Amino acid sequence: MTTVQEAAAQVRPTVYDIDPINVNRWSPRSFQEKEVPEETLFAVLEAAGYAPSAFNFQPWRFIVARTPEERARFLPFLNEFNRGWCAKVPVLILIVSQTSSENGPFPSAAFDAGAAWGALAHEAVRKGLATHAMTGFDFELARQTLNVPDDFAIQAAVALGYQGDKDALPEAMAAREVPSPRRPLEQTAFKGVFGQPINNR
């Protein structure tokens, strides 16, 4: 089986010297039916809690499903495609963020939760785990099923576990089981105004 690192290096060459963890994080759909040790899982979740946050409000919350009974609550609100490959995933997480504080609406709730997700994903790579975030699910059914309060926005669901062999997936899915490439820097970062490449390469 190709490792996460080997697969990522094949399709994600970098121009500049960056930490490989940024390249090695990608989103497979094949997961082993192997339990994630509690200490490892909690370390990943704790790392997410150190993400930057406006006013240190830390709006993110993680609803974690580890047991068969807990995971069974998640599956009905996932769409059919995601339900198919998530059935074997050992940990499912719903990321939500608090949208208001005692001072009123908190406009960076989604931005801060995204930062926490990034920290979670990178720590997972450090621990030899894979993650796959998804928004292909019924948000309202997820809210009802998991008792998410009205002042929390649902951001994404995340599959977490040990990467499996792509041959365990249906043929059509297996063909897509590779890291996705990234656009070059000149198409992403602009100098001064929108559309002006920041570099001259």
Q: Is 56 left (phi over 0), alpha (psi -120 to 50) or beta?
A: left
pTM: 0.92
Domain annotation covers residue 175: no
Q: pLDDT band at 187, cuts 50/70/90?
A: very high
Judged against a pLDDT cut of 90, whether residue 49 lies above it is answered with yes
CATH number at residue 143: 3.40.109.10
Grade residue 13 by pLDDT with cuts at 50, 70 and 90. confident
- Give the chain's domain count: 1
User: In the numeric block, which tokens belong to residue 168?
Assistant: 């365990």
Tell me if 54 is assigned to some domain. yes
What is Dmax (Cα atoms) for the chain?
54
In a domain, 116, yes or no: yes
Asked if residue 121 belongs to a domain, the reply is: yes
Identify the domain containing residue 94 by its residue range: 4-167
